[in-house]
Amino acid sequence: MARIKRGLMRHKRHKKVIKSASGYFQRKKNVFKNAHEQVMKSGQYAFRDRRRRKRDFRRLWIVRLSAACKQCGVRYSDFIHGLNSKGMQVDRKMLSELAISDMKAFEAVVKQATA
């Protein structure tokens, strides 16, 4: 029986890892062992930060809404409570965009929520 040589597949696998590690610092870009470790760690960071980005944007929208509510003379918590009790389903992203682009429309939404 002929023996199996695995050099071709190993070369392909190494090449793929080195290509994905291009742009990294020092030996992490061209030494397979270091590159593979860094690519795996980078994948963990990317997975974590895809979830973290959602949290960060929600915090940003809440800060924007709080500032806009303060200009209208209403607390953020009272505004959100009013929206929920009236059954108005507008998410924080759209409300913050409305507060930035069209303050008069946002004031109308605040009046409806707090009335």
The domain segmentation of the chain, as residue ranges, is: 8-114
CB 90 within 8 A of CB 55: no
- Give the pLDDT band of residue 1 (cuts 50, 70, 90): confident
Size (the chain), residues: 115
The CB-based long-range contact list for 4-11 (8 Å cut-off, 24+ gap) reads: none
User: Does domain 8-114 sit in CATH 1.10.1900.20?
Assistant: yes
Q: Give the pLDDT confidence of 7-60 residue by residue, as tens digits.
A: 889 999 999 999 999 999 999 999 999 999 999 999 999 999 999 999 999 999
pTM of the model: 0.76
To the nearest 10 degrees (0 to 180), the angle between helices 7-20 and 32-72 is 30
Only one residue has tokens 């004031």, namely 107
With beta carbons less than 8 A apart as the criterion, state whether 24 and 38 touch. yes
Instruction: Give the model's pLDDT for residue 5.
Output: 81
